[in-house]
């Protein structure tokens, strides 16, 4: 019989996520991971094949814990789900690994192929889920293009949290974006749209 592990896999992944979030993939060494997890090199290699595998498994674990699929499938579908999704960007404000996936985009050139594939698949799923919510908000709207816009805004929003952006400022940006999005879909008055003349005489 093989000896039981002397560590908890989930606990190791949570601690590894914190290191990867703070230092990135390229700048994280195996020694960093040993110190953070409290597991020595042989222990890590007995569970993971190396840093590449640990990063991949950490990212998978984060995505499982993020519950974005559940959030974006909540009924009724619509803009409330989109706004709750954008609010996930606030997770980055206090040292949380909530933006690990978006931060990974900065290192695509050096990431393992398995991670790049994971990122692309996740973004495809997010795009489809966002498009369904946007379509529900207004069936005649450009749901696919607007889903692109939402994802791009979310990526920028979460990357910006690396600058220690104030939480209230981030909330203001989300509110402004949602106001513009609702205006684009015609679900509310667009505050930036010039009022059109009524055509009636005075």
In sequence order, the 6+-apart residues with CB closer than 8 A to the CB of 66 are 88, 98
Better-predicted residue by pLDDT, 132 or 95: 132
Q: Both 149 and 164 in a single domain?
A: yes
How confident is the model at residue 163, as a pLDDT?
77
Q: Look up the domain containing 27 and give its range.
A: 9-61
pLDDT digits (tens, 9 = 90+) for 140-181: 879 999 999 999 999 988 888 777 778 888 899 999 999 999
Candidates 93, 98, 96, 87; CA nearest to 175 is 87
- CA–CA separation, 171 and 65 (whole Å): 23
Residue 178 lies in a domain: yes
Following CA atoms 156, 157, 160, 166 in sequence, which dihedral angle do they give, to the nearest 10 degrees? 160
Give the phi and the psi of residue 52 in degrees, each rounded to 5: -60, -45
Q: Both 100 and 149 in a single domain?
A: yes
Candidates 124, 119, 121; CA nearest to 25 is 119
Q: How many domains does the chain have?
A: 2
Q: Both 50 and 89 in a single domain?
A: no
- CA–CA separation, 110 and 52 (whole Å): 10
How confident is the model at residue 198, as a pLDDT?
45
- Domain final residue pick, 42, 61, 80: 61
Q: For residue 193, count CB atoms less than 10 angstroms from its CB and return exposed for 0-12, middle for 13-18, buried for 19 or more.
A: exposed
Q: Which residue in this structure is represented by tokens 């690994």?
A: 97
Q: Both 34 and 110 in a single domain?
A: no
- Domain final residue pick, 36, 61, 86: 61
Q: Both 84 and 167 in a single domain?
A: yes
pLDDT digits (tens, 9 = 90+) for 15-28: 999 999 889 999 99
Q: Both 76 and 128 in a single domain?
A: yes
28: domain CATH number is 1.10.10.60
pLDDT digits (tens, 9 = 90+) for 67-126: 898 999 999 999 999 999 998 877 654 445 447 888 898 899 999 999 999 999 999 999
**Position 194 confidence tier, pLDDT thresholds 50, 70, 90:** very low
Q: Both 57 and 107 in a single domain?
A: no
Overall average pLDDT of the 29-42 stretch: 95
- CA–CA separation, 67 and 72 (whole Å): 9
- CA–CA separation, 51 and 45 (whole Å): 9
């Amino acid at each position: 019989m093989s000896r039981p592990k002397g560590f908890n896999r989930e606990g190791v992944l949570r601690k590894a996520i914190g290191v990867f979030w703070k230092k990135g993939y390229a700048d994280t060494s195996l020694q960093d991971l040993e110190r953070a997890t409290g597991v020595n090199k042989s222990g890590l290699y007995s569970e993971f094949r190396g840093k590449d595998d640990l990063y991949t498994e950490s990212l998978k674990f984060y995505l499982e814990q993020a519950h974005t699929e559940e959030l974006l499938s909540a009924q009724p579908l619509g803009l409330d789900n989109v706004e709750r999704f954008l609010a996930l960007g606030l997770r980055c404000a206090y040292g949380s690994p909530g933006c690990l996936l978006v931060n990974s985009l900065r290192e695509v050139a050096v990431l393992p192929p398995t991670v790049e594939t994971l990122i692309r698949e996740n973004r495809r799923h997010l795009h489809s889920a966002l498009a369904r919510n946007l379509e529900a908000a207004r069936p005649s709207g450009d749901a696919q293009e607007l889903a692109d816009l939402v994802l791009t805004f979310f990526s920028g929003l979460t990357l910006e949290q690396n600058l220690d952006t104030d939480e209230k400022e981030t909330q203001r940006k989300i509110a402004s974006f949602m106001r513009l999005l609702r205006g684009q879909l015609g679900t509310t008055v667009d505050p930036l749209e010039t009022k059109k003349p009524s055509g009636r005489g005075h």
